[in-house]
Structure formats: C-alpha cells, structure tokens
Chain A
Amino acid sequence: MKSRFPIATPFVLLGLIATPLRAEYTDKPVVALVAASTQDAVTEIAAAFTKETKIAVKISGAASNTLANQILHGAPADVFLSASQEWADAVDKKGLSAKTIPLLSNRLTLIVAKGNPLDIKQPADLMAAKVTRVVLPGEKIPLGAYAKQALDAAHVYDDLIGAKKIVRAQDARATLAFVERGEAPASIGYSSDARLSKAVEAAYTFDEKSHDAIRYPLVLVKREAMNPAASRWFDYLESESAAKIFEKYGFQMVKR
C-alpha cells in the first residue's frame, strides 16, 4: 500500500533550497535600517565600507515609521537613517538613541512629465486650467506636510484645495508614480525622487525657506550590547566618500 500522505511530498523540496549564501566576515554585521528612498545610495556606500573594513552591513529599506517602530519594539538594529525628524525623535524619546545627527537634507521640487509639456515653471502655474490634478501625499506623511507649507508660502494651497485639484497618494513613491504613468500632470516630490523615473523631471525647486528643513537624521541605536562596528559605520556615513555617493543620488549633506 502506498503512502496516503501526499501533502508531505512538496515540502521535501524545502531541504533542497539552500539558505541564502552569506559572506563570511569576522565582525558581527552591522544592521542598518534606512528610509527606502535612501537605500540605493546606502547600499553603494556599504559596498565601499565593507571593502575597506571587512565589516558586513545588512541594509533594510522601508518606510521611516516602520523602521522606527521596529526599533521601539526591540528589533536588533544598530543604525537608523530616517527620512523624518519626527520618527528619529520618537526613537530618541524612548532613550534608544546613543547619538543622533542630521545627516542629509533634500529639496522639494515640482515634478512633471518629461519635457514639461504643460510648461509649468512655478507653483502659480498649477492653477492653470490645463493642470487638472496635482498629486500629494497626506499631510501626515512628511512629504505631504512639506508640500503644504511650500504651496502655502506660494499662496496656492487653498486655491488648489478649493479647485479640487489635489489628489492624495499614500507615499512619496506612489505620488511620483501618478505623474510617471501620465495619470496626473504634476506632483510634488523630493529632488532625489525625480531620478527614479525616466518619464519625469523636476520643473521647479522650492525655496528651502518656504518649508521646514527636510532632514534625514542618522541615529546610532542604543542597545544592551553595542556592536563596536556600528559606530565605525555611523562615522563612515558622515565621511567625504559617503557624501560623494549621497550627492550622486540627489541628496545634500547637512553642513555642520
């Protein structure tokens, strides 16, 4: 009589799938939680860092609130690069920050389709009839908050609301996608975002004084047993060579 448990058979395959290969380094790898928008840049910096120090860096990219929550609930993270001051502060307030510095800054831009077919040059142009929709994240999302401030400063925010032109997207990436797919003529995004798609370009860069400073704080997470490699990585992110890479990806280093 044959076995009556076919259910088990596919699972045998499990044994055939090797655990993902991992480079062997002497030091304990550093775990870096980074805002998803910075993960490409940080990955490139980490490659250089590892080459230099033989210390591996594990990078986990996600939304800043997700990352902060992970740290707040005791996840084993060493370094946190947040896209929002608010979440860095939340970590600090729980006494989980050994050290926090403002690392990067970003600029706010008006994003339009490649070639700027509607010829949008400044915030006031958004009120033109041909600009049917403007995409922004909700005001609770940092980008949404900055955008409100900047558009307010340009005296168009209330008018855009009144004209029902504003469409809300869930986050910075989704905001960009609307313009990228041609679903909306304009959106507001970080200057580093425009590079993500060949279908868009930045038509206007807002004055830095028109909104709160856009800061990417870097947090050295306080843990029961600190990984000595963590502070080397923390310092490396402030270094000249890291700055070059960050700037390549559209971020600015905060001058100190």
Chain B
Amino acid sequence: MLSAEDWQAVALSLQVAMAAVIVSFPLGLGLAWLLARKRFPGKFAVETIVALPLVLPPVVTGYLLLVLFGGNGWIGHWLRRWLGVEIIFTWKAAALASAVMAFPLMVRSIRSAIEMVDPRLEQAARTLGAGPLDAFFTITLPLARRGVVAGCVLAFARSIGEFGATIMIAGNIPGDTRTIPLAIYSELDSPGGAERSTGLVVASIAIAVLAMVVSEALNRGRDSRKIAANRSSNA
C-alpha cells in the first residue's frame, strides 16, 4: 500500500515528531510548572504567547519562524555565522515547526496535570530535606505523569499532522523534509495522486491511534501493577 517514498515520509514524520517532542519537552515542562505554580508579572503575556500557535494560522506561525530562523533572521543569522548551522530546508526545521505548533497542547496538558498535584505534598517534601528540583522530580512529576504523558502524546500526534508551518520553513524536499502531510499535498499535484495518498492518510491515522494506545497502556500497566501489589499485601 505504501511506496518507498511513502515509507520515507512516514519514517521522517516519526523522526520529526519525536525530535519535536524531545526538544520541546524540557521547556514545556518548565513552563508548565511556572504557569501552574508561580505568580509573576507578565504571566498573562507569557500564557498568550504560548497559546498563539493554537490560534494563528499555521502559515503565519511558519512565516514568523522563517523571519526569525531564515538566513536574514536574527536567530538564523546567528546560527549560521557562529555555529555554521543552517536549519531552513532541513528536517530540523520541520521539527522546530512541529515543536512550536504542538507546544501549546503540551504545555496545557502538563500544566493542568501539575495543577492537580496538591502543593502541600511538595511542601512536605521540602520539609523532609528535598530541594525545589528534587521535590519536583520525585513528587510533582510522578504524580502528574498521566498528564505529562498525555501532553507528549498529544504533541506527538499534532506534530505528525503539521503542515502549514513546516512547508514554510522546512520546504517540501523528498527524503529531507517531506513528511506525511507534505507528501499528501505533493501527491495532489500529480495525476492520480489523490488516490495514491490514501495509504499515507491511513498511515497517519495508524500512528495517531498507536500513540494513544501506547500512552494508555503505559498508564494502565502502571496502575494495575500498583493495585496488584496492594491486593497481595492485603491478603
């Protein structure tokens, strides 16, 4: 059902989506914590900026990224000049676009998961000698893990479907940056492409379903283990 080019697009999409999630995860986690637990001046502004990719047309987000990361943009210029790194038209640009587009979903999910954790447990951990980071990683994060995993899966799924910002900064180069959505878009400009792209559509649905199933299994497996442990010790 899938041609060699299609498989290439699928593999690239997975690579891009995973990279996007991995790269944005530490930042997303930190920001989610900040928004969930801290009050600071400009918090509303930060919230708005983070949510922006959710409301802006992806093409606009892509354009802003192009302005920043293009060879003339101040980040792109700096990267090229000092690190010799070119990211436009590479898979890294696709990952960047996906990360930015998926970021609000990730932050929102992790944030509400952190908000659900009783801050008094963190205080208790602090009085037991845990520093703020220690308490975060040993108490907050494990207790928020469902939302954290959900946030990552959501971001991953969103990345698999990302088109508008990606084509803007990563281009549509087969093998380099042509992810599943770009491959589908390109097929539509070929005779009979609409029919041929069915396989890719099915593939992207399969990936999304698989991601959900995996995260669900991760959570359920963990909980049933815990329940089993309690049962056996009760007996």
Contact = CB atoms under 8 A, between A and B. Distances in A.
Taking the complex as a whole, does A directly touch B, i.e. does some CB pair lie under 8 Å apart? Answer: yes
Given A20-B176, A73-B72, A75-B89, A40 B11 contact: no
Given A21-B175, A62-B172, A70-B70, A7 B189 contact: no
Nearest to B214: A10
B186 A36 contact: yes
Contact of B191 (A59, A70, A196): A196
Contacts of A61: 172, 186, 189
Interface of A: 4-7, 9-11, 13-14, 17-22, 31, 33, 36-37, 39-40, 43, 58-62, 66, 69-70, 72-77, 173, 177, 180, 195-198
Nearest to B59: A66
Given A11-B22, A60-B173, A77-B89, A17 B11 contact: yes
A37 B15 contact: no
A72 B49 CA distance: 26
A31 B8 contact: no
Contacts, number: 126
Given A7-B145, A11-B22, A75 B189 contact: no
B2 interface: no
B189 A36 contact: yes
B19 interface: yes
Interface string B1-32: 00000001001101100110110010000000
Contacts of A17: 11, 14-15, 18
B71 A198 contact: no
Nearest to A194: B191
A10 B217 CA distance: 12
Interface string B23-67: 001000000000000000000000000000000000100010011
Contacts of A14: 15, 18-19, 22
B88 A75 contact: yes
Nearest to B186: A61
Given A21-B175, A195-B191, A76 B167 contact: no
A60 B91 CA distance: 13
Interface size class of B (residues with CB under 8 A): 35 or more
Interface in B105-158: 141-142, 145, 148-149, 152
B70 A59 contact: no
B73 A74 contact: yes
Nearest to A36: B189
Nearest to A43: B174
A76 B93 CA distance: 13
Contacts of A13: 14, 18
Nearest to A15: B18
B70 to A, nearest CB: 3
B98 interface: no
Nearest to B168: A66
24 contacts: A4-B142, A9-B218, A10-B18, A14-B18, A14-B22, A17-B11, A18-B11, A20-B11, A20-B12, A31-B173, A36-B186, A43-B174, A58-B173, A69-B66, A70-B70, A70-B88, A70-B89, A73-B71, A73-B73, A75-B89, A173-B188, A196-B193, A197-B194, A198-B191
